[in-house]
Copies of this chain bind each other. A is one copy, B any other.
């Protein structure tokens, strides 16, 4: 059975596992105050070309989103995101559970339009309505698209002209960076706070939150603890990010995922299969007949994205473990199905 279901179904990269074996007999400071964490933060700062940031390792993406948004907002303030945004759809109301409204704007292949945000801000006129204060986007987005350097700059400038913070969810930042459409130091220049996702790019767990804007830094560890995201064995996160950010492993893993997806995409298109979106990163969305769908389910694990009635959109994802040979073999089997 082939597996293109998602990018977080393998334990983690071998370098990381080997490092855990290597360090198993050393005692550490706890709660993220250990030397591995300090070292990993310094490695990340080099990539950001910015020493004046605060970095925190947090155990999961939903926790990062909850913690950042509830730390930044006053009770009556709200966050704006695309209607497809992860915080709007797939976190069981985690943001609202901290007391804040999520305002939505239409998405454009997973991305927000500045004009929609401007309109949202303009219609919130007085104290009978929430006050929009954060714009939340994902890089790469839920549908695999990427905000380019120029798009980020423009959005960031808009936000700052409108008294809004820009928060970037980087659960899949690795594949975005691997496109070269944007770089880590761009994120440090064009956002107030963002995170670098480990779990979807080779780590066992853990996300590296980067707070760029000084106004958001104070007492952040209190918020991490209250939200339950402070990892007692924080050194395990530190060790992993040390591995990911020395020798550019983080980019290399994103690159592997993207290349495998691009290869798969091209082979499918050659065979006349329609796509719902272009392939930018590591997710592709073929539209197939119900008949092909039924056959496919028997040879490969994937997600049903949308049921169109007579046809189905499926999602195929490559990850840090995917091998080109695996894709080739899949294409071969697929050919026998498509006949």
**Contacts known (A21-B21, A66-B228, A94-B226); A11 close to B236, Cβ less than 8 A:** yes
Q: Are A75's CB and B128's CB within 8 A?
A: no
Check if A231 is an interface residue, CB within 8 A of chain B. yes
Q: Are B130's CB and A93's CB within 8 A?
A: yes
Partner-contacting stretch, out of A95-103, A134-142, A185-193, A291-299 = A95-103
Q: Are A232's CB and B127's CB within 8 A?
A: no
Q: Are A76's CB and B92's CB within 8 A?
A: yes
Q: List B contacts of A204 (CB < 8 A).
A: 20, 204, 233, 236
A100 to B14, CA, bound (A): 42
Contact with B along A152-172 (1 / 0, CB 8 A): 000000000000000000000
Q: List B contacts of A228 (CB < 8 A).
A: 60, 62-63, 66, 94, 227-229
How far is the CB of A220 from the nearest CB of chain B, in Å?
Answer: 9
Partner-contacting stretch, out of A24-32, A250-258, A262-270, A329-337 = A24-32
Q: Considering only CB atoms, which chain B residue lies closest to A12 in the complex?
A: B24
A78 to B102, CA, bound (A): 13
| Contact residues, A1-55 vs B (CB, 8 A) | 3, 5-6, 8-12, 14, 17, 20-21, 23-30
Q: List B contacts of A17 (CB < 8 A).
A: 17, 20-21, 24
A193 to B200, CA, bound (A): 32
The one of B91, B131, B235 in contact with A11, judged by C-beta atoms closer than 8 angstroms, is B235
Q: Are B219's CB and A131's CB within 8 A?
A: yes
How far is the CB of A272 from the nearest CB of chain B, in Å?
Answer: 29
A185 to B140, CA, bound (A): 47
Q: Are B226's CB and A90's CB within 8 A?
A: no
Q: Are B230's CB and A62's CB within 8 A?
A: yes
Check if A273 is an interface residue, CB within 8 A of chain B. no
Check if A209 is an interface residue, CB within 8 A of chain B. no
Q: Considering only CB atoms, which chain B residue lies closest to A171 in the complex?
A: B232
Interface centre among A60, A199, A204 (most CB of B within 10 A): A60
**Contacts known (A75-B71, A93-B101, A128-B92); A20 close to B9, Cβ less than 8 A:** no
Given A75-B98, A75-B223, 11 new contacts (CB under 8 A):
A11-B23, A70-B75, A76-B225, A93-B99, A97-B226, A99-B99, A101-B102, A199-B232, A205-B233, A228-B228, A228-B229
Can you sample 18 A-B contacts with CB below 8 Å?
Answer: A8-B30, A9-B29, A10-B26, A11-B235, A17-B17, A20-B20, A60-B231, A71-B75, A90-B129, A92-B226, A93-B100, A94-B226, A96-B99, A96-B102, A97-B98, A205-B205, A205-B231, A228-B229
Interface residues of A (CB under 8 A from B): 3, 5-6, 8-12, 14, 17, 20-21, 23-30, 59-63, 66, 70-71, 74-76, 78, 89-94, 96-102, 127-131, 199-200, 204-205, 219, 221-233, 235-236, 239, 301, 321
